[in-house]
Structure 1
Amino acid sequence: MRIRLTAGETVLTATLDDNATARDFASLLPLTLQMNDLFKREKYGHLPRSLAAGGTPRFSYEIGNIVYWSPGPDIAVFYAHDGESIPEPGQIILGEIDSGADALKKYDGAVDVTIEAVD
């Protein structure tokens, strides 16, 4: 599934993975979240509910990853890499930003992000 993330004047497109967690996330769309900055590497936002388990937990990330962090329950979008690993219980990859994820670093602090399906 293709999605669009809109933060201020920044519009990013992404593709969700085919796993149970990503499909459950898609069922919440459209969604607007206040996303805060964490470690100058990611924007994260609190989801209205936990998502179904179904992806493989990972302890690393790449720029452009959209991930689910179950303890939140939060999603995060990585826009930079600091070389650190992700602590237990890991995160589940929901999808990948097509390009331009680094544009999120211009939003210092919190920014409202609307996420919607595009197909």
Structure 2
Amino acid sequence: MKLLTAAAAITTCLLMSGNVMAQNIQIKVDGKAYAGGLNGNDAAKDFAAKLPLKLKFEDFGSTERISYLPKSLNLGSAPRSCDPQKGDITYYIPWGNLAVFVRDFRPSDNLVPLGKLSPEALKAIQESGSKDVEISLVK
């Protein structure tokens, strides 16, 4: 029930900010589930189509945790730049990796916005070390 409540809160917040979440996702670390949401752009839809995935994240500087996808995303008409904020899930075009921002960052080209994590999901990814992180759709 907490997962659905958190997902509803994220969706409401993003709707109010103009970023519509098209699909709820679940992040699992050590068997515990956390909420997140994906945008409605073409790249986020392609990412959703590849789920479920098990990924390992690593620190990239002190601003983000990254993980390499097994296959690049089809970007379609998705934006090719964004101003990432803490909790944002993005796709870095040149390297083909996911980047989860643990701190706010500056506007960046070649960075595609994919979605947003709940504060609890972000904390779980920050503390995941080299453990598997499972990402799946919430049906």
By percentage of residues, which structure has more helix? 2
Runs of 4 or more above 4 Å deviation: none
Compute the displacement of 1:117 (Å): 0.5
What is the 5 A alignment of 1:18-57?
18-53=40-75, 54-57=77-80
CA RMSD of aligned residues (A): 2.0
Structure number with greater CO (CA < 8 Å, separation at least 6) is 1
Q: Which range moves more in the overlay, 17-26 or 57-66? A: 57-66
Alignment partner of 1:69 out of 92, 95, 102:
92
Aligned to 2:15: none
Percent identity of equivalent pairs: 27
2:18 alignment counterpart: none
Alpha carbons 1:79, 1:103 under 8 Å: kept: no
Quote the Cα distance in structure 1 between the aligned partners of 2:135 and 2:94.
Answer: 21
**Distance in 1, Cα, partners of 2:103 & 2:34:** 15
Say whether residues 1:118 and 2:121 are aligned partners.
no
Number of residue pairs matched?
Answer: 115
1:58-97 counterparts in 2 under 5 A?
58-81=81-104, 83-84=105-106, 86=108, 89-97=109-117
- 1:10: Cα distance to partner? 5.3
* Stretch moving more, 8-17 or 58-67: 8-17
- Unpaired runs of 5+ residues, structure 1, are none
Shift of 1:61: 0.9
